[in-house]
Amino acid sequence: MKSLGPPGGQGGVATAPLVTTAPVTPSGGEVRPAVAAPSTSGRPNSPTFKTEPRAAKVPYSEQAFAQLQQQSAAPSAVAPEARAIASAAPATMPASPPRTESGRVPEIDDDNLGWIWPATGKIVAGFSESANLKGIDIAGKAGQPIVASAAGKVVYAGTGLRGYGKLIIVKHSNAFLSAYAHNREIAVKEGQQVAKGQKIAEMGDTDADQVKLHFEIRRLGKPVDPAKFLPPA
């Protein structure tokens, strides 16, 4: 213990060293600093990672053909974040007016589609149910334009059906669609609205033995003779 006072003076004040003690809890135990828990790694449990399946061509069948045109019409899954936002929205928020589907095919009278030839050239194969020929083949020059035979919406554009090469399917109404196969280049995208006579592709020979357009018209999914709908050549 030391005596604190003015130099050479009297009546100093005695002082004692400061003693520190650990704080105690009401139960009498010492309070110790919390230790942070070790962070967990963001790596997946498995050492391997999943990848998207590769696209592959499927053999032709009526079911496969129908599935192609339905792919773009399938609704996409709602993301969890979107569902969370929707559930957190205030109940008093006014509802937005309904909107029409952006890619919806306009209602068209089947009798007023006004079909036109999709390409110029020589018919080298005709429609035949007995020979399982589902459309007509029009021979021409590589790169010449292929046009939409009637107005509608592109519901498929790709190479997913074996034997058709680069294929385009256009939906014209609830009953009719048309198909354009063996193209060299595709000039439209799925979901795109096209006008009658609009260029949609270039003639080619993908999955074919010569440069030609294989053209089909289908009613309610069943192939019909295009010659019954196209104007006289």
pLDDT digits (tens, 9 = 90+) for 95-127: 443 444 444 445 556 767 999 999 999 999 999
Q: Give me the number of domains the chain comprises.
A: 1
> Please, are residues 176 and 217 in contact by the beta-carbon 8 Å criterion?
yes
**Domain-located, residue 163:** yes
The average pLDDT across 173-184 equals 97
Residue 147 lies in a domain: yes
* CA 171 – CA 150 distance, rounded (Å): 9
Q: What pLDDT band is residue 136 in, cutting at 50, 70 and 90?
A: very high
On whether residue 5 sits in a domain, the answer given is no
Query: What is the residue range of 210's domain?
Result: 113-227
How many Å apart are CA 138 and CA 233, to the nearest integer?
12
Q: What is the mean pLDDT of the chain?
A: 74
Q: Judge whether 50 lies within some domain.
A: no
Domain containing 166 — which CATH number? 2.70.70.10
Residue 66 counted as domain residue: no
- Nearest CA to 135 out of 198, 178, 183 is that of 178
CA–CA distance, 207 with 164 (Å, rounded to integer): 6
